[in-house]
């Protein structure tokens, strides 16, 4: 049989597999209980994991308690972006980029309330997406039951939020959006059973290129995913063509890499051109780029945090990674899949297959190197990298291929890991189920849903003086007040660290703030300083002291008074007078 005929035959067989994914190969067990359409299988898995999320995390999903200040900052930026979605026109970002506030701003415009509860739901859904993606991509090659054995325990741990810092994993972190984007990219490239062709590689690389515009720290994993898929495409293409010569393999890799790199870079090129045309490229360079450079390279001067030398940092990264054993457990599927590499006859293709597995793992660790200290939620990229590595490795397993390892390994792992997970669930699930039942009874009797820690904000003085919809500047680091009181940020800076922390642009940030306030004076200014608020900013760092240019506006337009938030924290309220020019919201 000629190589061309063999290639067509392999493609026809793969298309049959795509059309009828539930048809089991001869001699193997038939999949039971799964829909026949592949993407319906994914939807079912996503729905079941969402149900599990509600069961194990119900109380934490609808609490108004803030689990991480990042989620409040992101939501406040989203409220600002909803006023003008163009990148960096009326909002900015710090260690993340504009795609976060832009996405949240779009949600706000379509009617999704940007509240703490919504943030908790988005954070949980990102883990549902990660688990459903891992199961679906592995199921397509090794079967639904084996994939569930390998993926479900770690997914349950993420949904529980059981980590070194539980609150981080119960919240919407800055990694949530990039993780979802990486999952979509993996589904595009690795989801269909057909050999990975150039157009799918281009489309998936384009999606992966968006991840860095959610958070640049995701860059190594995004690049590694694209690189791994380039190798997968080469292995599949050369095996189908029965041409494993080094020249043919090299040409295949170079051709695929050129297309993938061009597609990966396209979002960045487009966004930079848009900002140049819209006049916000200077804002992008002055704010997020400078902020991240100072955050990673000059924190000694900026915050007094001394980064350790490289050997100590590597040791710290190793210790950090070992604190998340369930992330490493997600590599088991890839290790088992790699045991079947003997089916690949060419040593060169075996090397490419091994590199495809190792790339996401190396990238997951690389993500942890640039930033010090390491916060627990940075391990989200460790989880994503480990899972994507296993998905890539499973892709190289021929459908219906007899495992090269004993079949009991997955079952034994699942039994041990599930026992641990069930022990963790015992402490929280009964209470969540009881609360779910209570919520259901209230809904059926017309009482509606209630949120844990919910406070009647209308009864508080701040809500009376600054009602919902008011344009407010919170000075300090209290972005949660925008969410609690349903305020609209009056400045692109939703916390005052831009003006307080010493940077090359510190004075310029202050001048920009003054121009914003003078052009459209906010209805209220709330100074939230001291140990009661995040970062415990020194009460001496008032708006007038840090930004002297704002003093005249405060004196002429605002009346100061002592006030309290709904939870009893002391603030200083500056209420705009009726004589001051400007329009009340």
The yes-or-no verdict on residue 342 having pLDDT over 90 is no
Nearest residue to 308 (alpha-carbon basis) of 371, 225, 377, 380: 371
As given in the structure block, the two tokens for residue 492 are 């692109």
Mean pLDDT of 548-565: 93
State the pLDDT confidence band at 317, using cuts at 50, 70 and 90. Answer: confident
State the pLDDT confidence band at 447, using cuts at 50, 70 and 90. Answer: low
Among the listed ranges 3-12, 473-482, 568-577, which one has the minimum average pLDDT value? 3-12
Q: What's the CA gap between 202 and 411, in Å, rounded?
A: 37
Mean pLDDT of 236-243: 80
More confident residue, 574 or 236: 574
Bridge partner list, 526: 474, 573
**Residue 533 burial class via C-beta count within 10 angstroms: exposed 0-12, middle 13-18, buried 19 and up:** buried
State the pLDDT confidence band at 453, using cuts at 50, 70 and 90. Answer: low
Nearest residue to 517 (alpha-carbon basis) of 575, 464, 582: 582
More confident residue, 436 or 95: 95
As given in the structure block, the two tokens for residue 569 are 């924290």
Q: Which of 55-64, 192-201, 221-230, 413-422 has the highest mean pLDDT?
A: 221-230
As given in the structure block, the two tokens for residue 208 are 């992966």
* CB of 213 closer than 8 Å to CB of 271: yes
Write the DSSP string, 132-150.
Answer: HHHHHHHHHHH-HHHHHHH
Q: What's the CA gap between 560 and 572, in Å, rounded?
A: 7
Mean pLDDT of 481-505: 92
pLDDT at 15: 40
User: Measured on CA atoms in the order 362, 147, 185, 131, is the torsion positive or negative?
Assistant: negative
Q: Side by side, which strands form the sheet with 558-564?
A: 488-489, 471-476, 524-528, 570-576, 558-564
User: Measured on CA atoms in the order 427, 429, 432, 437, is the torsion positive or negative?
Assistant: negative
Tell me the pLDDT tens digit for each residue of 258-303: 999 999 999 999 999 999 999 999 999 999 998 888 777 666 655 6
385 alpha carbon, distance to own chain's centre? 13
Element (H, E) at 473: strand 471-476
State the pLDDT confidence band at 226, using cuts at 50, 70 and 90. Answer: very high
pLDDT at 10: 44
The reply to whether the predicted model has a pTM over 0.85 is yes
Q: What's the CA gap between 78 and 214, in Å, rounded?
A: 13
As given in the structure block, the two tokens for residue 301 are 């001067």
Bridge partner list, 564: 570
Nearest residue to 291 (alpha-carbon basis) of 492, 107, 547: 492
Q: Which of 62-76, 260-274, 569-583 has the highest mean pLDDT?
A: 260-274
The yes-or-no verdict on residue 76 having pLDDT over 50 is yes
Tell me the pLDDT tens digit for each residue of 327-339: 999 999 888 888 8
**Residue 295 burial class via C-beta count within 10 angstroms: exposed 0-12, middle 13-18, buried 19 and up:** buried
Q: Are strands 524-528 and 570-576 parallel, antiparallel or unpaired?
A: antiparallel
The yes-or-no verdict on residue 366 having pLDDT over 60 is yes
Using DSSP, state whether 472 is helix, strand or coil.
strand
pLDDT at 28: 43
Q: What's the CA gap between 296 and 181, in Å, rounded?
A: 24
State the pLDDT confidence band at 421, using cuts at 50, 70 and 90. Answer: confident
* CB of 474 closer than 8 Å to CB of 493: no
Using DSSP, state whether 60 is helix, strand or coil.
helix
Other beta carbons within 10 Å of 423: 9
pLDDT at 451: 58
**Residue 287 burial class via C-beta count within 10 angstroms: exposed 0-12, middle 13-18, buried 19 and up:** buried
Q: What's the CA gap between 266 and 207, in Å, rounded?
A: 10
More confident residue, 225 or 171: 225
The single residue listed with the structure tokens 């993780």 is 179
The yes-or-no verdict on residue 4 having pLDDT over 80 is no
* CB of 173 closer than 8 Å to CB of 227: no
pLDDT at 300: 61
Average pLDDT, the chain: 86
* CB of 152 closer than 8 Å to CB of 135: yes
Tell me the CB-side half-sphere exposure of residue 203, using CA atoms within 13 A: 12
Tell me the pLDDT tens digit for each residue of 105-135: 999 999 999 999 899 999 999 999 999 999 9
* Residue 427 φ then ψ, to 5°: -75, -20
Q: What's the CA gap between 37 and 23, in Å, rounded?
A: 11
pLDDT at 427: 76
The angle, 0 to 180 degrees and rounded to 10, between the axes of the packed helices 198-211 and 176-190 is 180
pLDDT at 31: 47
Listed in sequence order, the residues at least 6 apart from 271 whose beta carbon sits closer than 8 Å to its beta carbon are 87, 98, 213
pLDDT at 34: 65
Listed in sequence order, the residues at least 6 apart from 511 whose beta carbon sits closer than 8 Å to its beta carbon are 549
Tell me the pLDDT tens digit for each residue of 526-538: 999 999 999 899 9
Other beta carbons within 10 Å of 279: 11
Among the listed ranges 61-75, 280-294, 302-316, which one has the minimum average pLDDT value? 302-316
* CB of 560 closer than 8 Å to CB of 571: no
Please give the radius of gyration of the chain, using alpha carbons only, rounded to the nearest integer: 26
As given in the structure block, the two tokens for residue 268 are 């960045």
């Amino acid at each position: 049989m000629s190589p061309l005929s063999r290639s067509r035959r392999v493609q026809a067989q793969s298309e049959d597999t795509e059309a009828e994914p539930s048809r089991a190969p001869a001699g193997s067990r038939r999949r039971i209980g799964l829909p026949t359409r592949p993407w319906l299988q994914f939807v079912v898995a996503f729905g079941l994991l969402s149900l599990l999320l509600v069961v194990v995390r119900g109380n934490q999903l609808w609490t108004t308690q803030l689990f991480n200040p990042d989620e409040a900052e992101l939501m406040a930026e989203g409220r600002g972006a909803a006023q003008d979605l163009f990148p960096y026109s009326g909002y900015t970002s710090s260690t993340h980029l504009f795609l976060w506030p832009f996405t949240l701003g779009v949600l706000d415009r379509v009617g999704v309330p940007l509240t703490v509860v919504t943030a908790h739901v988005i954070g949980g859904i990102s883990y549902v997406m990660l688990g459903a993606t891992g199961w679906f991509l592995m199921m397509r090659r090794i079967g639904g039951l084996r994939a569930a054995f390998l993926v479900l325990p770690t997914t349950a741990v993420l949904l529980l939020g059981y980590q070194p810092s539980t609150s981080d994993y119960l919240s919407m972190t800055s990694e949530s959006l990039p993780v979802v984007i990486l999952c979509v990219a993996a589904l595009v490239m690795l989801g269909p059973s057909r050999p990975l062709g150039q157009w799918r590689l281009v489309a998936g690389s384009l999606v992966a290129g968006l991840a860095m515009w959610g958070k640049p720290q995701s860059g190594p994993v995004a690049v590694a995913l694209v690189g791994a898929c380039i190798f997968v495409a080469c292995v599949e293409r050369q095996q189908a063509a029965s041409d494993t010569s080094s020249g043919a393999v090299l040409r295949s890799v170079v051709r695929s890499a050129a297309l993938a790199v061009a597609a990966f870079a396209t979002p960045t090129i487009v966004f930079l051109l848009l900002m140049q045309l819209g006049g916000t490229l200077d804002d992008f360079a002055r704010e997020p780029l400078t902020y991240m450079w100072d955050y990673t390279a000059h924190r000694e001067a900026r915050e007094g945090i001394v980064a350790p030398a490289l050997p100590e940092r590597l040791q710290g990264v190793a210790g950090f990674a070992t604190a998340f054993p369930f992330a490493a457990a997600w590599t088991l599927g890839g290790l088992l899949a790699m045991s079947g590499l003997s089916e690949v006859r060419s040593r060169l293709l075996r090397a490419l297959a091994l590199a495809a597995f190792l790339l996401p793992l190396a990238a997951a660790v690389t993500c942890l190197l640039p930033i010090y200290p390491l916060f627990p939620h940075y391990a989200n990229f460790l989880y994503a990298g480990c899972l994507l590595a296993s998905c890539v490795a499973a892709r190289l397993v021929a459908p219906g291929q007899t495992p090269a390892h004993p079949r009991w390994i997955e079952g034994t792992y699942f039994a041990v890991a599930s026992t641990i997970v069930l022990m963790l669930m015992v402490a929280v699930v009964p209470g969540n189920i009881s609360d779910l039942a209570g919520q259901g009874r209230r809904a059926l009797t017309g009482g509606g849903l209630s949120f844990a820690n919910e406070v009647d904000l209308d009864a508080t003085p701040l809500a009376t003086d600054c009602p919902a919809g008011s344009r407010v500047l919170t000075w300090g680091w209290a972005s949660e007040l925008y969410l609690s009181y349903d305020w609209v940020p009056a400045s692109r800076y939703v916390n005052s660290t831009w003006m307080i922390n010493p940077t090359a642009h510190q004075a310029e940030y202050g001048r920009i703030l003054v121009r914003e306030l003078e052009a459209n004076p906010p209805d209220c200014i709330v100074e939230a300083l001291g140990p009661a608020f995040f970062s415990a900013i020194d009460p001496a760092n008032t708006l007038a002291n840090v930004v002297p240019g704002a003093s005249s506006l405060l004196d002429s337009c605002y009346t100061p008074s002592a006030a309290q938030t709904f939870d009893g924290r002391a603030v200083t309220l500056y209420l705009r007078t009726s004589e001051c020019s400007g329009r009340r919201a």
